[in-house]
Amino acid sequence: MKYIKLYFQYAKLSIMSKLSYKSNTIIGIAAFLFTEITSILTLFIIVSQVPSLEGWNMYQIGLLYGITNLAIGLDHLFTDKLWNVAYFEVRSGTMDSLFLRPIPVLFQTIALEIQLEALGEILTAIFLIIFCSCNLSLIVTFESVLLLVVGIIGAALLITSFKIIIASMAFAFKRTGPFLQIVYNFSNYSKYPLTIFPKIIRFAFTFLIPLGLCVFFPVTNLFNPSSIGINPYLLVAIIIVVTAIILTLAILIWSKFAKRYESTGS
Amino acid sequence: MLKMKKLKNSLSKYIPFFHAGLKSTLAYKSQIYGWMIIGVIEILFIFFLYQAIYRNAPEGMNSVINGLTFYEMILYGATSFIFGNAISSETGWNIYVEVRDGTVVNTLTKPVSYRIRHLFTCFGQAFFQVFFIALPLLVILYGIFIGCGFVQFEPLQFILNIVFFLIFLLLAILINDSIGYLIGMLTFYTQHMFGLNMFISSIKTFLSGTMVPLSYMGVFGVIFSYLPFAFLASTPILILMGKMELLMIFIYLTIAIGYLILLEFINHLLFKHCIKKIVVQGG
Protein backbone atom coordinates (compact mmCIF):
# COMPACT_ATOMS: atom_id res chain seq x y z
CA MET A 1 0.00 0.00 0.00
CA LYS A 2 2.81 2.36 0.96
CA TYR A 3 4.51 1.71 -2.38
CA ILE A 4 1.29 2.27 -4.33
CA LYS A 5 0.90 5.69 -2.68
CA LEU A 6 4.54 6.44 -3.26
CA TYR A 7 4.29 5.38 -6.91
CA PHE A 8 1.46 7.83 -7.53
CA GLN A 9 3.44 10.59 -5.79
CA TYR A 10 6.45 9.95 -8.02
CA ALA A 11 4.22 9.66 -11.12
CA LYS A 12 2.50 12.95 -10.28
CA LEU A 13 5.87 14.67 -9.91
CA SER A 14 7.07 13.24 -13.21
CA ILE A 15 3.95 14.37 -15.08
CA MET A 16 4.10 17.82 -13.51
CA SER A 17 7.74 18.24 -14.47
CA LYS A 18 6.99 17.09 -18.04
CA LEU A 19 4.05 19.47 -18.33
CA SER A 20 6.16 22.38 -17.21
CA TYR A 21 7.76 22.07 -20.67
CA LYS A 22 4.44 21.75 -22.50
CA SER A 23 5.70 22.45 -26.02
CA ASN A 24 8.46 19.84 -25.69
CA THR A 25 6.00 17.24 -24.45
CA ILE A 26 3.55 17.98 -27.25
CA ILE A 27 6.33 17.82 -29.89
CA GLY A 28 7.45 14.50 -28.35
CA ILE A 29 3.95 12.98 -28.43
CA ALA A 30 3.37 14.26 -31.99
CA ALA A 31 6.76 12.89 -33.08
CA PHE A 32 5.93 9.40 -31.80
CA LEU A 33 2.47 9.65 -33.33
CA PHE A 34 3.94 10.64 -36.68
CA THR A 35 6.66 7.97 -36.55
CA GLU A 36 4.06 5.32 -35.88
CA ILE A 37 1.82 6.56 -38.69
CA THR A 38 4.71 6.35 -41.20
CA SER A 39 5.62 2.85 -39.90
CA ILE A 40 2.01 1.70 -40.34
CA LEU A 41 1.83 3.23 -43.83
CA THR A 42 5.06 1.41 -44.73
CA LEU A 43 3.60 -1.85 -43.41
CA PHE A 44 0.42 -1.46 -45.48
CA ILE A 45 2.37 -0.45 -48.61
CA ILE A 46 4.52 -3.59 -48.38
CA VAL A 47 1.74 -6.01 -47.48
CA SER A 48 -0.69 -4.63 -50.08
CA GLN A 49 1.60 -5.97 -52.83
CA VAL A 50 0.23 -9.48 -52.27
CA PRO A 51 -3.32 -10.74 -51.57
CA SER A 52 -2.18 -12.39 -48.31
CA LEU A 53 1.05 -13.04 -46.46
CA GLU A 54 1.29 -16.69 -45.45
CA GLY A 55 -2.49 -16.73 -45.02
CA TRP A 56 -2.65 -13.37 -43.18
CA ASN A 57 -4.49 -10.53 -44.86
CA MET A 58 -3.61 -6.85 -44.48
CA TYR A 59 -6.05 -6.18 -41.61
CA GLN A 60 -4.98 -9.24 -39.65
CA ILE A 61 -1.34 -8.14 -39.93
CA GLY A 62 -2.40 -4.61 -38.96
CA LEU A 63 -4.17 -5.99 -35.89
CA LEU A 64 -1.08 -7.96 -34.84
CA TYR A 65 1.08 -4.88 -35.42
CA GLY A 66 -1.28 -2.71 -33.36
CA ILE A 67 -1.47 -5.17 -30.45
CA THR A 68 2.33 -5.55 -30.33
CA ASN A 69 2.78 -1.78 -30.50
CA LEU A 70 0.28 -1.32 -27.69
CA ALA A 71 2.38 -3.59 -25.47
CA ILE A 72 5.57 -1.76 -26.51
CA GLY A 73 3.85 1.60 -25.87
CA LEU A 74 2.70 0.57 -22.38
CA ASP A 75 6.22 -0.48 -21.47
CA HIS A 76 7.53 2.79 -22.93
CA LEU A 77 5.03 4.83 -20.88
CA PHE A 78 5.92 3.29 -17.53
CA THR A 79 9.56 2.17 -17.65
CA ASP A 80 11.39 4.53 -19.99
CA LYS A 81 13.98 5.50 -17.40
CA LEU A 82 15.61 2.09 -17.79
CA TRP A 83 17.02 3.35 -21.09
CA ASN A 84 18.79 6.16 -19.24
CA VAL A 85 20.24 3.66 -16.76
CA ALA A 86 21.57 1.55 -19.63
CA TYR A 87 23.00 4.54 -21.48
CA PHE A 88 24.00 7.33 -19.10
CA GLU A 89 23.02 7.23 -15.46
CA VAL A 90 25.45 4.62 -14.14
CA ARG A 91 28.28 6.22 -16.06
CA SER A 92 27.51 9.72 -14.82
CA GLY A 93 26.91 8.60 -11.24
CA THR A 94 23.52 10.27 -11.07
CA MET A 95 21.99 7.18 -9.46
CA ASP A 96 23.75 7.87 -6.15
CA SER A 97 20.68 9.56 -4.70
CA LEU A 98 18.50 6.53 -5.44
CA PHE A 99 20.87 4.23 -3.57
CA LEU A 100 20.80 6.47 -0.50
CA ARG A 101 17.03 6.28 0.01
CA PRO A 102 15.36 3.46 1.98
CA ILE A 103 13.26 2.44 -1.01
CA PRO A 104 14.15 -0.27 -3.58
CA VAL A 105 16.24 1.29 -6.36
CA LEU A 106 14.36 -0.53 -9.13
CA PHE A 107 11.04 0.78 -7.81
CA GLN A 108 12.36 4.35 -7.80
CA THR A 109 13.93 3.97 -11.24
CA ILE A 110 10.63 2.90 -12.74
CA ALA A 111 8.39 5.23 -10.73
CA LEU A 112 10.49 8.33 -11.38
CA GLU A 113 9.43 8.68 -14.98
CA ILE A 114 6.13 8.54 -16.80
CA GLN A 115 7.07 9.01 -20.44
CA LEU A 116 4.14 10.94 -21.90
CA GLU A 117 5.66 10.73 -25.39
CA ALA A 118 4.57 7.09 -25.42
CA LEU A 119 0.98 8.32 -25.71
CA GLY A 120 1.69 8.93 -29.40
CA GLU A 121 2.58 5.24 -29.76
CA ILE A 122 -0.39 4.05 -27.70
CA LEU A 123 -2.94 6.23 -29.51
CA THR A 124 -1.86 5.05 -32.97
CA ALA A 125 -1.86 1.43 -31.75
CA ILE A 126 -5.43 1.79 -30.41
CA PHE A 127 -6.57 3.46 -33.63
CA LEU A 128 -4.98 0.70 -35.72
CA ILE A 129 -6.57 -2.03 -33.56
CA ILE A 130 -10.03 -0.45 -33.91
CA PHE A 131 -9.60 0.19 -37.65
CA CYS A 132 -8.43 -3.35 -38.42
CA SER A 133 -10.98 -4.99 -36.08
CA CYS A 134 -13.80 -3.19 -37.93
CA ASN A 135 -12.59 -4.76 -41.17
CA LEU A 136 -12.35 -8.29 -39.78
CA SER A 137 -14.87 -10.86 -38.57
CA LEU A 138 -13.33 -11.51 -35.20
CA ILE A 139 -14.45 -14.27 -32.86
CA VAL A 140 -15.07 -12.28 -29.70
CA THR A 141 -15.69 -14.50 -26.68
CA PHE A 142 -14.79 -14.13 -23.02
CA GLU A 143 -11.81 -16.44 -23.42
CA SER A 144 -10.45 -14.73 -26.55
CA VAL A 145 -10.65 -11.28 -24.90
CA LEU A 146 -9.11 -12.60 -21.68
CA LEU A 147 -6.28 -14.20 -23.65
CA LEU A 148 -5.68 -10.96 -25.55
CA VAL A 149 -5.63 -8.76 -22.42
CA VAL A 150 -3.33 -11.16 -20.56
CA GLY A 151 -1.18 -11.40 -23.70
CA ILE A 152 -0.80 -7.59 -24.01
CA ILE A 153 0.06 -7.16 -20.31
CA GLY A 154 2.36 -10.20 -20.49
CA ALA A 155 4.16 -8.83 -23.57
CA ALA A 156 4.60 -5.40 -21.93
CA LEU A 157 6.01 -7.04 -18.78
CA LEU A 158 8.32 -9.24 -20.84
CA ILE A 159 9.74 -6.21 -22.64
CA THR A 160 10.18 -4.51 -19.25
CA SER A 161 11.88 -7.63 -17.87
CA PHE A 162 14.42 -7.75 -20.69
CA LYS A 163 15.02 -4.02 -20.26
CA ILE A 164 15.60 -4.53 -16.52
CA ILE A 165 18.08 -7.36 -17.17
CA ILE A 166 20.12 -5.41 -19.73
CA ALA A 167 19.92 -2.08 -17.84
CA SER A 168 21.08 -3.80 -14.63
CA MET A 169 24.20 -5.03 -16.42
CA ALA A 170 25.21 -1.37 -16.72
CA PHE A 171 25.99 -1.50 -12.96
CA ALA A 172 28.86 -3.80 -13.85
CA PHE A 173 29.75 -2.70 -17.39
CA LYS A 174 28.78 1.03 -17.11
CA ARG A 175 27.01 1.26 -20.49
CA THR A 176 24.76 -1.39 -22.00
CA GLY A 177 22.46 0.90 -24.01
CA PRO A 178 23.60 -0.28 -27.47
CA PHE A 179 22.95 -3.89 -26.42
CA LEU A 180 19.48 -2.91 -25.21
CA GLN A 181 18.90 -1.24 -28.59
CA ILE A 182 19.83 -4.49 -30.36
CA VAL A 183 17.33 -6.54 -28.31
CA TYR A 184 14.69 -3.84 -28.81
CA ASN A 185 15.21 -3.88 -32.60
CA PHE A 186 15.00 -7.66 -32.55
CA SER A 187 11.66 -7.44 -30.74
CA ASN A 188 10.27 -5.61 -33.82
CA TYR A 189 10.11 -9.02 -35.49
CA SER A 190 7.16 -9.87 -33.23
CA LYS A 191 5.04 -7.22 -35.01
CA TYR A 192 4.74 -9.57 -38.00
CA PRO A 193 3.20 -13.06 -38.29
CA LEU A 194 5.69 -15.60 -36.94
CA THR A 195 4.87 -17.82 -39.90
CA ILE A 196 6.91 -15.64 -42.27
CA PHE A 197 10.11 -16.38 -40.36
CA PRO A 198 12.24 -19.54 -40.39
CA LYS A 199 11.77 -22.14 -37.63
CA ILE A 200 14.68 -20.93 -35.51
CA ILE A 201 13.19 -17.42 -35.18
CA ARG A 202 9.73 -18.84 -34.49
CA PHE A 203 11.28 -20.99 -31.76
CA ALA A 204 13.11 -17.97 -30.29
CA PHE A 205 9.93 -15.87 -30.18
CA THR A 206 7.91 -18.67 -28.63
CA PHE A 207 10.35 -19.96 -26.02
CA LEU A 208 13.39 -17.68 -25.56
CA ILE A 209 11.92 -14.18 -25.95
CA PRO A 210 8.29 -15.36 -25.70
CA LEU A 211 6.73 -12.22 -27.22
CA GLY A 212 5.21 -14.40 -29.93
CA LEU A 213 3.57 -16.51 -27.25
CA CYS A 214 1.98 -13.38 -25.73
CA VAL A 215 0.93 -11.66 -28.95
CA PHE A 216 0.95 -13.92 -31.99
CA PHE A 217 -1.15 -16.75 -30.50
CA PRO A 218 -3.78 -14.51 -28.82
CA VAL A 219 -4.25 -12.53 -32.06
CA THR A 220 -4.46 -15.72 -34.15
CA ASN A 221 -7.07 -16.99 -31.69
CA LEU A 222 -9.28 -14.01 -32.62
CA PHE A 223 -9.91 -15.24 -36.16
CA ASN A 224 -8.58 -18.78 -36.40
CA PRO A 225 -8.85 -20.45 -32.95
CA SER A 226 -8.35 -23.98 -34.22
CA SER A 227 -4.89 -23.17 -35.62
CA ILE A 228 -3.28 -22.29 -32.27
CA GLY A 229 -3.61 -25.93 -31.15
CA ILE A 230 -3.92 -25.18 -27.44
CA ASN A 231 -6.78 -24.44 -25.03
CA PRO A 232 -6.99 -20.62 -24.58
CA TYR A 233 -7.30 -20.92 -20.77
CA LEU A 234 -4.19 -23.08 -20.67
CA LEU A 235 -2.42 -20.48 -22.82
CA VAL A 236 -3.50 -17.74 -20.36
CA ALA A 237 -1.99 -19.78 -17.53
CA ILE A 238 1.23 -20.39 -19.49
CA ILE A 239 1.59 -16.66 -20.31
CA ILE A 240 1.08 -15.71 -16.64
CA VAL A 241 3.58 -18.31 -15.38
CA VAL A 242 6.23 -17.55 -18.03
CA THR A 243 5.91 -13.77 -17.50
CA ALA A 244 6.08 -14.17 -13.71
CA ILE A 245 9.20 -16.34 -13.96
CA ILE A 246 11.02 -13.97 -16.33
CA LEU A 247 10.03 -10.87 -14.33
CA THR A 248 11.19 -12.47 -11.06
CA LEU A 249 14.43 -13.48 -12.73
CA ALA A 250 14.89 -9.92 -14.01
CA ILE A 251 14.36 -8.47 -10.49
CA LEU A 252 16.85 -10.96 -9.02
CA ILE A 253 19.43 -10.12 -11.69
CA TRP A 254 18.89 -6.39 -11.02
CA SER A 255 19.44 -6.92 -7.26
CA LYS A 256 22.61 -8.87 -7.93
CA PHE A 257 24.11 -6.32 -10.32
CA ALA A 258 22.95 -3.34 -8.21
CA LYS A 259 25.40 -4.48 -5.51
CA ARG A 260 28.20 -3.75 -7.98
CA TYR A 261 27.15 -0.12 -8.43
CA GLU A 262 29.89 2.33 -7.60
CA SER A 263 29.73 6.08 -7.74
CA THR A 264 31.86 8.02 -10.18
CA GLY A 265 33.60 9.67 -7.22
CA SER A 266 33.09 13.15 -8.58
CA MET B 1 45.44 32.09 -59.09
CA LEU B 2 45.57 34.61 -56.32
CA LYS B 3 41.91 34.02 -55.59
CA MET B 4 42.48 30.24 -55.38
CA LYS B 5 45.33 30.78 -52.91
CA LYS B 6 43.13 33.05 -50.84
CA LEU B 7 40.33 30.46 -50.83
CA LYS B 8 42.77 27.72 -49.83
CA ASN B 9 44.06 29.87 -46.97
CA SER B 10 40.60 30.72 -45.75
CA LEU B 11 39.51 27.07 -45.84
CA SER B 12 42.66 25.75 -44.14
CA LYS B 13 41.45 27.15 -40.82
CA TYR B 14 38.59 24.64 -40.94
CA ILE B 15 40.88 21.59 -41.22
CA PRO B 16 40.97 21.14 -37.38
CA PHE B 17 37.16 20.79 -37.46
CA PHE B 18 37.52 18.06 -40.10
CA HIS B 19 39.92 16.24 -37.77
CA ALA B 20 37.57 16.77 -34.83
CA GLY B 21 34.71 15.14 -36.77
CA LEU B 22 36.94 12.25 -37.81
CA LYS B 23 38.31 11.69 -34.31
CA SER B 24 34.89 11.88 -32.65
CA THR B 25 33.69 9.11 -34.98
CA LEU B 26 36.81 7.04 -34.30
CA ALA B 27 36.35 7.50 -30.55
CA TYR B 28 33.09 5.57 -30.68
CA LYS B 29 34.38 2.58 -32.61
CA SER B 30 32.51 0.21 -30.29
CA GLN B 31 29.25 1.78 -31.52
CA ILE B 32 30.13 0.57 -35.01
CA TYR B 33 29.98 -3.04 -33.83
CA GLY B 34 26.56 -2.36 -32.29
CA TRP B 35 25.46 -0.74 -35.55
CA MET B 36 26.67 -3.78 -37.51
CA ILE B 37 24.72 -6.21 -35.31
CA ILE B 38 21.60 -4.03 -35.71
CA GLY B 39 22.33 -4.00 -39.46
CA VAL B 40 22.43 -7.78 -39.61
CA ILE B 41 19.13 -7.97 -37.67
CA GLU B 42 17.49 -5.39 -39.96
CA ILE B 43 18.78 -6.91 -43.20
CA LEU B 44 17.73 -10.41 -42.09
CA PHE B 45 14.32 -8.97 -41.26
CA ILE B 46 14.06 -7.38 -44.73
CA PHE B 47 15.14 -10.71 -46.22
CA PHE B 48 12.47 -12.75 -44.39
CA LEU B 49 9.71 -10.19 -44.97
CA TYR B 50 10.34 -9.83 -48.71
CA GLN B 51 10.91 -13.56 -49.07
CA ALA B 52 7.38 -14.03 -47.73
CA ILE B 53 6.07 -11.25 -50.01
CA TYR B 54 7.62 -12.77 -53.14
CA ARG B 55 6.64 -16.32 -52.09
CA ASN B 56 3.02 -15.14 -51.91
CA ALA B 57 3.12 -13.14 -55.15
CA PRO B 58 1.29 -14.68 -58.18
CA GLU B 59 4.52 -15.76 -59.92
CA GLY B 60 6.28 -16.81 -56.73
CA MET B 61 9.96 -16.08 -56.11
CA ASN B 62 10.44 -15.24 -59.80
CA SER B 63 8.00 -12.32 -59.58
CA VAL B 64 9.07 -8.80 -60.45
CA ILE B 65 7.33 -6.44 -58.04
CA ASN B 66 7.42 -2.75 -58.94
CA GLY B 67 10.40 -3.29 -61.21
CA LEU B 68 12.49 -5.25 -58.70
CA THR B 69 13.21 -8.98 -58.50
CA PHE B 70 13.55 -10.62 -55.07
CA TYR B 71 17.36 -10.37 -55.06
CA GLU B 72 17.25 -6.78 -56.32
CA MET B 73 14.86 -5.95 -53.47
CA ILE B 74 17.24 -7.45 -50.90
CA LEU B 75 20.14 -5.61 -52.52
CA TYR B 76 18.11 -2.38 -52.35
CA GLY B 77 17.33 -2.92 -48.65
CA ALA B 78 20.93 -3.74 -47.70
CA THR B 79 22.35 -0.83 -49.76
CA SER B 80 19.81 1.50 -48.19
CA PHE B 81 20.91 0.52 -44.66
CA ILE B 82 24.61 1.00 -45.46
CA PHE B 83 23.96 4.25 -47.34
CA GLY B 84 21.88 5.67 -44.49
CA ASN B 85 24.81 5.22 -42.11
CA ALA B 86 27.34 6.61 -44.59
CA ILE B 87 25.54 9.95 -44.91
CA SER B 88 24.47 10.33 -41.26
CA SER B 89 25.41 13.67 -39.76
CA GLU B 90 25.69 14.84 -36.16
CA THR B 91 25.38 18.53 -37.07
CA GLY B 92 21.84 18.96 -35.71
CA TRP B 93 22.73 17.37 -32.36
CA ASN B 94 26.03 19.26 -32.13
CA ILE B 95 24.22 22.60 -32.60
CA TYR B 96 21.57 21.60 -30.05
CA VAL B 97 24.23 20.72 -27.45
CA GLU B 98 25.95 24.07 -28.06
CA VAL B 99 22.64 25.93 -27.72
CA ARG B 100 21.64 23.98 -24.59
CA ASP B 101 25.02 24.39 -22.87
CA GLY B 102 25.51 27.96 -24.05
CA THR B 103 28.88 27.10 -25.63
CA VAL B 104 27.51 28.39 -28.92
CA VAL B 105 28.73 31.88 -27.93
CA ASN B 106 32.34 30.65 -27.88
CA THR B 107 32.16 29.76 -31.55
CA LEU B 108 30.18 32.81 -32.54
CA THR B 109 32.94 35.07 -31.26
CA LYS B 110 35.61 33.31 -33.34
CA PRO B 111 36.51 34.38 -36.90
CA VAL B 112 35.13 31.23 -38.47
CA SER B 113 31.88 30.66 -40.33
CA TYR B 114 29.45 28.75 -38.14
CA ARG B 115 28.06 26.86 -41.14
CA ILE B 116 31.40 25.93 -42.71
CA ARG B 117 32.73 24.85 -39.31
CA HIS B 118 29.90 22.35 -38.92
CA LEU B 119 30.24 21.28 -42.54
CA PHE B 120 33.90 20.38 -42.04
CA THR B 121 33.07 18.45 -38.86
CA CYS B 122 30.48 16.56 -40.92
CA PHE B 123 33.09 15.89 -43.65
CA GLY B 124 35.40 14.43 -41.02
CA GLN B 125 32.67 12.13 -39.79
CA ALA B 126 31.58 11.20 -43.31
CA PHE B 127 35.19 10.49 -44.36
CA PHE B 128 35.39 7.61 -41.89
CA GLN B 129 31.83 6.42 -42.47
CA VAL B 130 32.20 6.35 -46.26
CA PHE B 131 35.76 5.13 -46.80
CA PHE B 132 36.16 2.77 -43.84
CA ILE B 133 32.67 1.34 -43.48
CA ALA B 134 30.22 1.95 -46.32
CA LEU B 135 32.40 1.50 -49.40
CA PRO B 136 34.12 -1.72 -48.17
CA LEU B 137 30.72 -3.14 -47.16
CA LEU B 138 29.19 -2.19 -50.53
CA VAL B 139 32.11 -3.82 -52.38
CA ILE B 140 31.56 -7.04 -50.38
CA LEU B 141 27.77 -6.88 -50.83
CA TYR B 142 27.82 -6.29 -54.59
CA GLY B 143 30.71 -8.76 -54.95
CA ILE B 144 28.56 -11.48 -53.37
CA PHE B 145 25.41 -10.60 -55.33
CA ILE B 146 27.24 -10.37 -58.67
CA GLY B 147 29.50 -13.36 -57.91
CA CYS B 148 26.55 -15.58 -57.06
CA GLY B 149 24.66 -14.39 -60.13
CA PHE B 150 21.78 -12.90 -58.11
CA VAL B 151 22.05 -9.67 -60.10
CA GLN B 152 23.76 -8.89 -63.40
CA PHE B 153 25.40 -5.72 -64.62
CA GLU B 154 27.01 -4.81 -67.91
CA PRO B 155 30.63 -3.90 -66.85
CA LEU B 156 30.94 -0.51 -68.54
CA GLN B 157 27.44 0.54 -67.52
CA PHE B 158 28.16 -0.53 -63.93
CA ILE B 159 31.32 1.61 -63.81
CA LEU B 160 29.26 4.58 -65.02
CA ASN B 161 26.65 3.77 -62.34
CA ILE B 162 29.37 3.81 -59.69
CA VAL B 163 30.66 7.21 -60.84
CA PHE B 164 27.18 8.75 -60.71
CA PHE B 165 26.49 7.00 -57.41
CA LEU B 166 29.58 8.59 -55.85
CA ILE B 167 28.50 12.04 -57.07
CA PHE B 168 25.03 11.50 -55.56
CA LEU B 169 26.64 10.15 -52.37
CA LEU B 170 28.46 13.45 -51.95
CA LEU B 171 25.24 15.36 -52.67
CA ALA B 172 23.36 13.17 -50.15
CA ILE B 173 25.94 13.97 -47.46
CA LEU B 174 25.58 17.69 -48.18
CA ILE B 175 21.76 17.67 -48.33
CA ASN B 176 21.48 15.57 -45.17
CA ASP B 177 23.89 17.87 -43.35
CA SER B 178 21.91 20.91 -44.54
CA ILE B 179 18.72 19.37 -43.16
CA GLY B 180 20.55 18.57 -39.89
CA TYR B 181 21.79 22.16 -39.71
CA LEU B 182 18.25 23.43 -40.32
CA ILE B 183 16.95 21.28 -37.45
CA GLY B 184 19.84 22.49 -35.30
CA MET B 185 18.82 26.09 -36.07
CA LEU B 186 15.26 25.32 -34.98
CA THR B 187 16.56 24.30 -31.53
CA PHE B 188 17.46 27.96 -31.00
CA TYR B 189 13.67 28.43 -30.79
CA THR B 190 12.50 25.13 -29.26
CA GLN B 191 15.48 24.44 -26.93
CA HIS B 192 14.58 20.80 -27.49
CA MET B 193 15.92 18.26 -29.95
CA PHE B 194 14.53 14.78 -29.26
CA GLY B 195 11.04 15.27 -30.69
CA LEU B 196 12.21 17.39 -33.61
CA ASN B 197 14.88 14.88 -34.52
CA MET B 198 12.43 12.00 -34.33
CA PHE B 199 10.00 13.92 -36.52
CA ILE B 200 12.52 14.63 -39.24
CA SER B 201 13.99 11.10 -39.01
CA SER B 202 10.62 9.51 -39.69
CA ILE B 203 9.93 11.92 -42.56
CA LYS B 204 13.35 11.10 -44.03
CA THR B 205 12.92 7.34 -43.57
CA PHE B 206 9.50 7.34 -45.20
CA LEU B 207 9.98 9.83 -48.02
CA SER B 208 13.51 8.79 -48.96
CA GLY B 209 12.54 5.21 -49.76
CA THR B 210 14.77 3.81 -47.03
CA MET B 211 12.21 1.34 -45.71
CA VAL B 212 10.34 0.67 -48.91
CA PRO B 213 11.26 1.71 -52.49
CA LEU B 214 9.31 4.72 -53.75
CA SER B 215 8.12 2.63 -56.73
CA TYR B 216 5.89 0.77 -54.22
CA MET B 217 3.95 3.99 -53.57
CA GLY B 218 2.48 4.49 -57.05
CA VAL B 219 1.82 8.09 -58.05
CA PHE B 220 2.84 9.34 -54.60
CA GLY B 221 6.20 7.65 -55.07
CA VAL B 222 6.72 9.61 -58.30
CA ILE B 223 5.94 12.87 -56.46
CA PHE B 224 8.19 11.90 -53.52
CA SER B 225 11.06 11.14 -55.92
CA TYR B 226 11.28 14.87 -56.69
CA LEU B 227 11.51 15.91 -53.01
CA PRO B 228 14.92 16.47 -51.38
CA PHE B 229 14.53 13.38 -49.18
CA ALA B 230 14.62 11.02 -52.20
CA PHE B 231 18.29 11.98 -52.67
CA LEU B 232 19.06 10.50 -49.24
CA ALA B 233 18.36 6.91 -50.38
CA SER B 234 16.12 6.10 -53.33
CA THR B 235 17.78 8.05 -56.18
CA PRO B 236 21.45 7.14 -55.46
CA ILE B 237 20.62 3.47 -54.81
CA LEU B 238 18.54 3.10 -57.98
CA ILE B 239 21.38 4.73 -59.93
CA LEU B 240 23.89 2.23 -58.51
CA MET B 241 21.55 -0.64 -59.33
CA GLY B 242 21.25 0.58 -62.91
CA LYS B 243 17.55 1.32 -62.60
CA MET B 244 17.69 4.86 -63.93
CA GLU B 245 18.14 6.28 -67.41
CA LEU B 246 20.92 8.75 -68.15
CA LEU B 247 18.53 11.61 -68.91
CA MET B 248 16.73 11.13 -65.57
CA ILE B 249 20.08 11.03 -63.76
CA PHE B 250 20.93 14.48 -65.15
CA ILE B 251 17.48 15.82 -64.30
CA TYR B 252 17.79 14.55 -60.71
CA LEU B 253 21.34 15.91 -60.50
CA THR B 254 20.07 19.39 -61.39
CA ILE B 255 17.19 19.10 -58.90
CA ALA B 256 19.52 17.90 -56.12
CA ILE B 257 21.90 20.83 -56.65
CA GLY B 258 18.90 23.19 -56.69
CA TYR B 259 17.65 21.81 -53.37
CA LEU B 260 21.10 22.11 -51.86
CA ILE B 261 21.35 25.79 -52.83
CA LEU B 262 17.81 26.42 -51.55
CA LEU B 263 18.48 24.68 -48.22
CA GLU B 264 21.72 26.58 -47.69
CA PHE B 265 19.95 29.84 -48.49
CA ILE B 266 17.20 29.09 -45.93
CA ASN B 267 19.88 28.08 -43.40
CA HIS B 268 21.71 31.35 -44.01
CA LEU B 269 18.56 33.42 -43.40
CA LEU B 270 17.62 31.34 -40.37
CA PHE B 271 21.08 31.70 -38.84
CA LYS B 272 20.94 35.48 -39.21
CA HIS B 273 17.65 35.45 -37.33
CA CYS B 274 18.84 32.97 -34.69
CA ILE B 275 21.89 34.90 -33.57
CA LYS B 276 19.68 37.89 -32.85
CA LYS B 277 17.48 35.70 -30.68
CA ILE B 278 20.09 33.76 -28.74
CA VAL B 279 19.92 33.83 -24.92
CA VAL B 280 22.70 32.20 -22.91
CA GLN B 281 21.90 31.41 -19.32
CA GLY B 282 24.53 32.53 -16.86
CA GLY B 283 26.54 34.36 -19.48
Closest of A261, A150, A242, A49 to residue B217, by C-alpha: A49
Q: Does residue A5 form part of some domain?
A: no
Asked if residue A183 has pLDDT above 90, the reply is no
Does B36 reach chain A within 8 Å, measured CB to CB? no
What does each C-alpha distance from B136 to B79, B141, B145, B153, B199 come to in angstroms?
12, 9, 14, 19, 31
Instruction: Tell whether the model's pLDDT for residue B128 goes beyond 50.
Output: yes
Distance CA A84, CA A88 (A): 5
Asked if B192 and A34 come within 8 Å (Cβ–Cβ), the reply is no
pLDDT averaged over every residue in chain B: 89
Q: What is the pLDDT of residue B104?
A: 83
Q: Which residue has the higher pLDDT, B133 or A264?
A: B133
Outline where chain A has alpha helix (H): 2-19, 22-47, 58-79, 81-84, 90-92, 96-100, 105-111, 118-134, 142-173, 177-187, 199-203, 211-223, 232-258
Task: Look at B34 and A178 and tell me if their CB atoms are within 8 Å.
Answer: yes
d(Cα B102, Cα B97) in Å, to the nearest integer?
8
For residue A179, which residues of chain B lie inside 8 Å, CB to CB?
34
pLDDT class for B60, splitting at 50, 70, 90? confident
In terms of Cα–Cα distance, which of A226, A196, A212 is closest to A67? A212
Q: Binning pLDDT at 50, 70 and 90, where does residue B283 land?
A: very low
**pLDDT value of residue A176:** 85
pLDDT tens for A246-255 read 999 999 999 9
Query: How open is the CA angle A251-A254-A260, to the nearest 5 degrees?
Result: 155
A8 inside domain = no
- Enumerate residues 6+ apart whose C-beta is below 8 A from A73: A118, A119, A121, A122, A125
Distance from CA of B169 to the nearest CA of A (A): 25
Q: Does A186 touch chain B (CB under 8 A)?
A: yes
Chain A residue numbers touching B41 (CB-CB < 8 A): 182, 185-186
Give the tens place of pLDDT for each residue, A46-81: 999 898 898 899 999 999 999 999 999 999 999 999
In a domain, A2, yes or no: no
The 3-class SS string of B174-213 reads: HHHHHHHHHHHHHHHHHCCCHHHHHHHHHHHHHHCCCCCC
Range of the domain at A186: 27-258
Query: Given an 8 Å threshold on Cβ–Cβ distance, is B206 in contact with A31?
Result: no
Question: Do A187 and B42 touch, CB atoms closer than 8 A?
Answer: no
For all residues of chain A together, what is the average pLDDT? 90
- Reported as a single tens digit per residue, the pLDDT across B163-178 is 999 999 999 999 999 9
**Of the spans A8-17, A222-231, B219-228, which averages the highest pLDDT?**
B219-228
pLDDT beyond 50 at A243? yes
Minimal Cβ distance to A53: which of B38, B53, B199: B53
Flag whether A154 is in a domain.
yes
For chain B, the distance separating the N- and C-terminal CA atoms, rounded to the nearest angstrom, is: 44
Task: Assess B216–A contact: CB distance below 8 Å, yes or no.
Answer: yes
In this prediction, residues B100-122 reach a mean pLDDT of 86
Name the more confident of B97 and B256. Answer: B256
Length in residues, chain B? 283
A266 domain-assigned:
no
Residues 6+ apart with CB under 8 A from A120: A28, A29, A30, A31, A32, A33, A34, A35, A36
Percent of chain B with pLDDT over 90: 60
A window 49-68, beta carbon within 8 A of B:
49-54
Distance between CA B190 and CA B182 in Å, rounded? 13
> 10 Å Cβ neighbour count for A55?
11
What's the domain count of chain A? Answer: 1
A231-A234-A235-A241 Cα dihedral, nearest 10 degrees: -170
* Spatial contact of A112 and A10, defined as CB atoms under 8 Å apart: yes
- Secondary structure string (H, E, C) spanning B34-80: HHHHHHHHHHHHHHHHHHHHHHCCCCHHHCCECCECHHHHHHHHHHH
Confidence at residue B28, expressed as pLDDT on a 0 to 100 scale: 66
